[in-house]
């Protein structure tokens, strides 16, 4: 029996295998009008084809809690009824074909209002230009010299965003999702609050570790309060800003030690799995990437806290993914770019490893 194809049960939800689709923005939704942020035929085929390919859990792209929370004007959102209904079409299909539908709930913070990645390499869109708007953040610090300085959030505005996360989670449940993942990684709003590199506040949301993690835990509590007790909540984290790992970089950032400490806090607040990525918050940080390069961060969280973890990053081969799970380094692997190249990665991996995977009835002849 392949470990990669053993089911995983979190709370009362059983995910049929350990090959999961990582959230990947498609930048393909309407930027304005009644279809703003609404999943369309492109999103349907993108997600549905991976279900036909045997993927155990399929997470949507970062789905914004408000128009201002989108990374780009072309991102998905979940703040109105039209969006909820369109997602239902997708989740019904995923469940009918053996996959668990999950949603990544997000706010882009200071990295909002950018172009699609294939247009000017995702450059910032200035407020008032095109579909641009002024982003927000914990502190008025632009991501880089080409980005717009964000407006510093007040304590009242922070609470409004906490409520938006809860409202989106409630809509996600109505839309048929079975896993809610809170996006706290890659330099987006929650990550910005966590890291001293981006959080320069002096109120109850800045300064100490307890203050910098306050917003994230308030979001977790708000989502957990509206999400059913029997269904899991995930949290995606950047386990490091990749500043402390570089002796030549004097900037202070979020560290692997912070992540282990925070993972224990998340576990106590009802989070069921830590989706463990890295980076994205500090431009110019030195990252040495390669196969499995982020797996040690997930492994450490699992060993030191007991919280289930997902491993990500340049996982491209069936045997590679199998070994990560067999060795107990992670409970599941989240595949991104390789699933773009091969929507049937799970089915092909099952064949290679001598395992069984769900195959839609029309495909049984093959």
Please tell me the predicted confidence (pLDDT) of residue 1: 85
Rounded CA-CA distance 309/278 in Å is 14
Q: What is the pLDDT along the chain (366 residues), one digit of tens a residue?
A: 899 999 999 999 999 999 999 999 999 999 999 999 999 999 999 999 999 999 999 999 999 999 999 999 999 999 999 999 999 999 999 999 999 999 999 999 999 999 999 999 899 999 999 999 999 999 999 999 999 999 999 999 999 999 999 999 999 999 999 999 999 999 999 999 999 999 999 999 999 999 999 999 999 999 999 999 999 999 999 999 999 887 778 889 999 999 999 999 999 999 999 999 999 999 999 998 999 999 999 999 999 999 999 999 999 999 999 999 999 999 999 999 999 999 999 999 999 999 999 988 888 865
**Active-site entry in 74, 188, 197, 205:** 188
Rounded CA-CA distance 284/280 in Å is 10
Q: Torsion-angle region of residue 66: left (phi > 0), alpha (psi -120 to 50) or beta?
A: beta
- Strand-pairing partners, residue 151, are 136
* CB-side neighbour CA atoms (13 Å) of 366: 10
Task: Determine whether 363 is an active site residue.
Answer: no
What is the DSSP secondary-structure string of 165-206? HHHHHHHHHHTT-SEEEEEE-TTSHHHHHH-TTT----STTS
Q: Where are the domains of the chain?
A: 3-359
What is the CA 341 to chain-centroid distance, rounded?
Answer: 20
Q: What is the DSSP letter of 153?
A: P
Rounded CA-CA distance 196/183 in Å is 18
- Taking the CA atoms of 220, 80, 14 and 104 in sequence, report the sign of the dihedral they define: negative
- Is there a contact between 231 and 170 (Cβ–Cβ < 8 Å)? no
Please tell me the predicted confidence (pLDDT) of residue 365: 67
Rounded CA-CA distance 104/51 in Å is 17
SS3 category, 346:
helix
Query: Which two structure tokens, joined as six digits, stand for 44?
Result: 């349907």
What is the DSSP secondary-structure string of 201-250? --STTSSSHHHHTHHHHHHHHHHHHHS-TTS-EEEEEES--SSTT-TT--
First to last CA, the chain: 22
Residue with tokens 């922070």: 158
Q: At what angle do helices 155-174 and 214-226 cross, to 10 degrees?
A: 30
- Is there a contact between 67 and 36 (Cβ–Cβ < 8 Å)? yes
- Is there a contact between 221 and 265 (Cβ–Cβ < 8 Å)? no
Rounded CA-CA distance 124/318 in Å is 37
Phi/psi at 63 (nearest 5 deg)?
-110, 120
The torsion of the CA quartet 300, 212, 217, 273, rounded to 10 degrees, works out to -20
Q: What is the CATH number of domain 3-359?
A: 3.20.20.70
Please tell me the predicted confidence (pLDDT) of residue 255: 96
Rounded CA-CA distance 83/328 in Å is 38
């Amino acid at each position: 029996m392949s470990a990669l194809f053993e089911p995983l049960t979190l709370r009362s939800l059983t995910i049929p295998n350990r090959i999961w689709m990582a959230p990947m923005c498609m930048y393909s939704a309407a930027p304005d009008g009644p279809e703003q942020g609404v999943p369309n035929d492109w999103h349907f085929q993108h997600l549905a084809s991976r279900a036909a390919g045997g993927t155990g859990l399929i997470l949507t792209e970062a789905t914004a809690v408000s128009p201002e929370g989108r990374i780009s004007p072309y991102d998905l959102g979940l703040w109105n009824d039209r969006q909820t209904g369109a997602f239902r079409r997708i989740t019904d299909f995923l469940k009918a074909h053996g996959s668990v539908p999950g949603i990544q709930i997000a706010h882009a913070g200071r990295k909002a209002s950018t172009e699609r990645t294939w247009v000017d390499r995702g450059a910032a869109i200035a407020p008032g230009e095109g579909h641009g708007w002024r982003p927000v953040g914990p502190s008025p610090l632009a991501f880089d010299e080409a980005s717009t300085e964000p407006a510093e959030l007040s304590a009242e505005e922070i609470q409004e965003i906490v409520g938006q996360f809860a409202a989106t989670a409630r809509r996600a449940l109505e839309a048929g999702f079975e896993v809610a993942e809170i996006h706290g990684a890659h330099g987006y709003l929650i990550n910005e609050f966590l890291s001293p590199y981006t959080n320069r506040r002096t109120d109850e949301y800045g300064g100490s570790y307890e203050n910098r993690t306050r917003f994230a835990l308030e979001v977790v509590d708000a989502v957990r309060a509206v999400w059913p007790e029997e269904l899991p909540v995930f949290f995606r984290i950047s386990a490091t800003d990749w500043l402390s790992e570089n002796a030549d970089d004097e900037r202070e950032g979020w560290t692997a030690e912070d992540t282990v400490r925070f993972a224990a806090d998340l576990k106590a607040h009802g989070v069921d799995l830590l989706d463990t990525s890295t980076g994205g918050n500090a431009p110019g940080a030195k990252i040495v990437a390669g196969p499995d390069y982020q797996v040690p961060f997930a492994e450490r969280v699992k060993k030191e806290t007991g919280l289930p973890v997902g491993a990500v990053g340049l996982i491209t081969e069936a045997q590679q993914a199998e070994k990560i799970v067999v060795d107990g380094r992670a409970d599941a692997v989240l595949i991104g770019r390789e699933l773009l190249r091969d929507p049937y990665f799970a089915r092909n991996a099952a064949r290679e490893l001598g395992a069984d995977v769900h195959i839609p009835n029309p495909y049984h002849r093959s």
